[in-house]
Amino acid sequence: MGLEGPVCEGVINRLHHPEINAAAWPVLMAIAIWVESPVIDLLSTSTTLAKSRQSYEVISKFVWYLLMWVSVAHALVVLTPAYDVVVQGMLGVKPDVAIAARAGLIILIPWSAMIGWRRYLQGILIRHGRTRSIGLGTTARVATLVVMAVILFRFTHLPSVVMASIAVILSVGVEAGFIHWLSRDVISVHFMRSEPSPEAPLTMKKLIGFHVPLSATTMVNLLIMPLVNAGLARSDRPVLALAGCGVAGSILFLHRAVTFCLPEVVITLYKSESYRAKLRSFSLGIGAISSGLILFLGVTRLDRYLFSWLIDAKHPIAEVAHWCYLYSAAVPFVDSAQAYVRGVLTAHHLTVSRLIAVLAAIVVLVGCVIAGVAFRWSGPVLAGASVTGALLAELVVLSIAWTKARSMVPTLASS
């Protein structure tokens, strides 16, 4: 999935008005992903709670309602005057960048529902050990994205943001359909027979109580990029700052992507103290390797070949991207540490602490953005410092929450 950003940035930077459209793409994706945020943790919810036919039926009903509401919310944001209020007013994005981003967001209206259904079914597949199926779905998504991007690039004259958005929505649709097809036999075997469950029935109230803190946490957490974009939009040369940091973000996402599945790995495999130690070492090792690679590429300036060759970013954009990439080197390591602690907390149904941690992160982020705008930090410094500082604050609060939980509950101290 991490290849999605570089492919789209590659199309955008090879066509007309690359600076405007490259600036529009991170704005577009930040809004789309934030609107989608209530469905992202369906992966953790189904991984943790889909244990019987009864729980499957309750979760499925909840999922359909949720998908409907996020789709309506997306449409209301992009098809009404609320769009200008949010993008030009609150985020401070220049009008030409906002116009370019809006066209793509309209195409992505079905995005949240497709993502939500796919993540719900992926959680079921993970719970029953079918992770290979998820890899196949992702392969189908990336292949569709690349093929459609090439076709649209070669044979149409659409605006570059529109091309990228069409390729993305088609690839997401293919992946959702593929995962739906692959999950049918798992659902048939595990959820279509009425068998007594040793646990109490899952109620809608309990489900909402579990999912809402996760969802609220993700919604607040995903405010990070819109807030960073708001800071970049108020920096010197804002269009260049948005474009360059967007290009860097597409490569940085490749490094971060390897950490995003770690919470579900921890939830699924966490069983005892020995498992916990191994999972912690594995998670931190993944993050250390990923951050180390950023430092190597950034210090040697080999990253500029990625920006110039892979994405075809022009020199001013590539230079901004280089510094933003280097200043964000610690992000994957902090991501991996967070992922481990989040997974442990979720495995013990301690999801409220995640919301508190993210609120702390947002406070630190806002402080960094305000300082960056006030003291005229460059775009890369503002983005790197804000994101890294926010993630560190979140990690500290999560670690404190887990330490307190273990000291207060004897069964957790031994797990």
Residue 155 exposed, middle or buried by CB count within 10 Å (0-12, 13-18, 19+): exposed
Predicted TM-score (pTM) of the model is 0.83
Q: What is the pLDDT of residues 211-250, one digit of tens each?
A: 988 888 788 888 899 999 999 999 989 999 999 999 999 9
Token couple for 95: 């009008």
CB burial readout 35-53, b (16+ within 10 A) else e? bbbbbbbbbbbbbbbbbbb
Contacts of 94 (CB under 8 A, 6+ apart): 23, 88, 233, 238, 239
CA dist 160 and 149 (Å) reads 10
Q: What is the pLDDT of residues 70-126, one digit of tens each?
A: 999 999 999 999 999 999 999 999 999 999 999 999 999 999 999 999 999 999 998
Share of the chain above pLDDT 70, in %: 96
Is the confidence at residue 413, as pLDDT, over 70?
no
Q: What are phi and psi of 222, to 5 degrees?
A: -80, 0
Residue 16 exposed, middle or buried by CB count within 10 Å (0-12, 13-18, 19+): exposed
Residue 405 exposed, middle or buried by CB count within 10 Å (0-12, 13-18, 19+): middle
CA dist 62 and 69 (Å) reads 11
Is the confidence at residue 166, as pLDDT, over 60?
yes
Token couple for 274: 């020995």
Contact (Cβ atoms closer than 8 angstroms) between residue 98 and residue 87: yes
Tell me the C-alpha to C-alpha distance, in Å, between residue 222 and each of 29, 43, 246, 308, 341.
11, 16, 15, 28, 18
CA dist 118 and 40 (Å) reads 10
How is residue 202 annotated by DSSP?
Answer: P
Nearest Cα neighbor of 191 from 59, 302, 387, 323 is: 59
Token couple for 338: 């967070």
Q: What is the pLDDT of residues 267-326, one digit of tens each?
A: 888 776 678 889 999 999 999 999 999 999 999 999 988 898 889 999 999 999 999 999
